């Protein structure tokens, strides 16, 4: 993280190194959380595009008032929360362009944040600008947003899951009482994502992509210092389902192979039994034919009575 701060503005550059880029699925991928001016941030990308054939990239600020300013190779300069059409996927993945090297992509985001000690007039003007910007972008975050225990932003599907675990584990709420509203929203959103994953996924879904996605969600949740001793066994069990799933597939294939060989063995036994029957019949037929038959040399001449 590079810092170039002034009295009124905070300027920092965040670098995100993404390895095994080609193995990422189409879901949104979040960077690690970083802090600027006592606020939490992260970068969100859609490696296969947010419903477009472009790399989509956003700055997720959890409600922060911020500008994301990026200038890329086409000299196309934009100020917004992010870019749904940042760069065409075919250009991004073209080896000759050098954006991805050894299946590693490095994303650098330069962030300019207004200092929190603005006067009211400046704050109002910044809010107007942000309101105007928000109306012109594609929002990658959940559309169904409702309140949760005084929090303004929470995905609707998370609410019953969060209510259930908070009732069972009151410390989840108690430990967040001294945090800022934005921090608490981030924390419970992270918890909601993990709970929703565990609630909706099945064992058969736990392939490499699903396990990697859950691992990222879990590592993000751990940064918020919840007491997660009650949840960790379920997460580790879900992560272990990849091996179970692979073993299950292997067992199924071996059962099918055993069944095939058993059927083949049965067919061979039936053929052998029939061969034995045919052999016995043939022996009896041979005995009948040679009964009373006197063998002679077939090379002997036939001759006639005078010889």
Distance CA 300, CA 100 (A): 93
Instruction: Select the more confidently predicted residue: 132 or 102.
Output: 102
Is residue 257 scored above 80 in pLDDT? yes
Q: What is the mean pLDDT of residues 2-15?
A: 67
- Confidence band for 196, pLDDT divided at 50, 70 and 90: very high
Percent of the chain, pLDDT > 70?
A: 75
Measured from the Cβ of residue 186, the count of other Cβ atoms closer than 10 Å reads 25
Q: What burial class does residue 69 get, using C-beta atoms within 10 Å of its C-beta: 0-12 exposed, 13-18 middle, 19+ buried?
A: middle
What does the pLDDT look like over 207-255, one tens digit per residue? Answer: 888 888 899 889 888 888 899 999 999 999 998 887 666 677 778 888 8
Place of tokens 């059409």: 85
Distance of CA 163 to the CA centre of its chain: 26
pTM of the full predicted structure?
Answer: 0.42
Q: Provide the mean pLDDT of the chain.
A: 77
- How would you label 150-178 residue by residue, b for 16+ Cβ within 10 Å and e otherwise? ebebbbeebbebbeebbeebeebeeebee
Is residue 148 scored above 90 in pLDDT? no
The domains of the chain, with CATH numbers, are: 1-115 (2.60.210.10), 142-260 (no CATH)
Q: What burial class does residue 148 get, using C-beta atoms within 10 Å of its C-beta: 0-12 exposed, 13-18 middle, 19+ buried?
A: buried
DSSP secondary-structure letter at 294?
Answer: P
* Residues pairing with 67 in the sheet: 112
């Amino acid at each position: 993280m590079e810092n170039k701060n002034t009295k009124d503005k905070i300027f920092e550059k965040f670098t995100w190194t993404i390895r095994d880029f080609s193995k990422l699925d189409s879901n949104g991928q979040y960077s690690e959380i970083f802090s600027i001016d006592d606020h939490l941030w992260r970068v969100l990308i859609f490696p296969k595009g947010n419903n477009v054939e472009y790399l989509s990239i956003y700055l997720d600020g959890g409600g922060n008032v911020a500008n994301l300013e990026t200038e890329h190779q086409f000299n196309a300069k934009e100020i917004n929360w992010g870019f749904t059409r940042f760069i065409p996927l075919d250009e991004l993945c073209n080896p000759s362009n050098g954006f991805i090297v050894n299946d590693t992509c490095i994303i650098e985001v330069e962030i300019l944040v207004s200092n929190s000690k603005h006067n009211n007039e400046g704050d109002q003007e910044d809010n107007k600008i942000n309101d105007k910007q928000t109306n012109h972008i594609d929002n990658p975050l959940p559309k169904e947003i409702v309140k949760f225990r005084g929090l303004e932003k929470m995905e609707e599907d998370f609410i019953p899951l969060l209510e259930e675990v908070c009732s069972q584990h009151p410390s989840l709420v108690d430990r967040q009482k001294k945090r800022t509203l934005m921090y608490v929203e981030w924390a419970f959103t992270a918890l909601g994502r993990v709970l929703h994953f565990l609630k909706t996924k099945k064992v058969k879904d736990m392939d490499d992509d699903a396990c990697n996605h859950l691992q990222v969600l879990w590592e993000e949740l751990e940064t918020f210092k919840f007491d997660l001793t009650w949840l960790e066994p379920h997460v580790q069990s879900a992560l272990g389902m990849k091996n179970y799933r692979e073993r299950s597939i292997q067992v199924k294939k071996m059962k099918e192979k055993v069944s095939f060989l058993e059927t083949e063995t049965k067919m061979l036994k039936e053929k052998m039994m029939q061969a034995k029957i045919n052999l016995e019949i043939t022996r009896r037929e041979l005995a009948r034919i040679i009964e009373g038959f006197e063998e002679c040399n077939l090379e002997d001449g036939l001759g006639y009575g005078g010889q």
